[in-house]
Amino acid sequence: MKRQIWALHNRFITGKGRIDFFFYVWLFFLLAGFGWLWEGFLYLFKDDLYVNRGFLTGPWLPIYGVGGVLLEVLFHRWRDRPVLTFVSSMVLCTVLEYLAGWYLELTWGVKWWDYSAMPWNLQGRICLYSALLFGVGGLLLVWLVSPLLYSLYDRIPRRVQTGVGLLLLMLFAADAAYSAMRPHVGAGITYR
The yes-or-no verdict on residue 16 having pLDDT over 50 is: no
pTM more than 0.75? yes
Write the pLDDT tens digit of every residue in 76-128: 888 889 999 999 999 999 999 999 999 989 988 888 888 999 999 999 999 99
The mean per-residue pLDDT over the stretch 29-35 comes to 96
* Separation in Å, CA 105 to CA 39, 93, 122, 128: 19, 18, 14, 21
* Domain spans, the chain: 2-11+22-33+63-181
**Is 114 strand, coil or helix?**
coil
The yes-or-no verdict on residue 184 having pLDDT over 60 is: yes
Distance separating alpha carbons of residues 114 and 104, to the nearest angstrom: 12
Contacts (Cβ under 8 Å, ≥6 apart) of 160 = none
